[in-house]
Amino acid sequence: MKLNCAHVWSYISEYIDGTVDAQLRLEIEKHLEHCEICSAILDSTRNILVLTADGRTFELPVGFSERLHTRLAKELLAAKNGPSGLESPGSAK
């Protein structure tokens, strides 16, 4: 079976944990040899695990939450309205 990116993404946690069977592990590794996107997702996931397992507390810069919420609201509005800036067909107001 040849895996595509969606298959690899669905097994990333199990791959990192070492709980996928040997054949699937080989298929994932074969895919990772040639797929930069999946390799980056694997590295990012590992980094997140390392950071969240770190017991230290990180102070967020002043105003970070407000900027984050503003940015998320803009992104959601842009996604709802589509690339033209107009509300996409079938979307509710």
Who contacts 35 (Cβ-Cβ below 8 Å, separation ≥6)? 5, 8
Give per-residue pLDDT as tens, 7-18: 999 999 999 999
- Residue % of the chain over a pLDDT of 70: 85
Identify the band that residue 5 occupies on the pLDDT scale cut at 50, 70 and 90.
very high
Q: Of 8 and 86, which is predicted with more confidence?
A: 8
Q: Would you state the pLDDT for residue 42?
A: 95
Identify the band that residue 32 occupies on the pLDDT scale cut at 50, 70 and 90.
very high
Q: Would you state the pLDDT for residue 83?
A: 61
Q: Would you state the pLDDT for residue 78?
A: 86
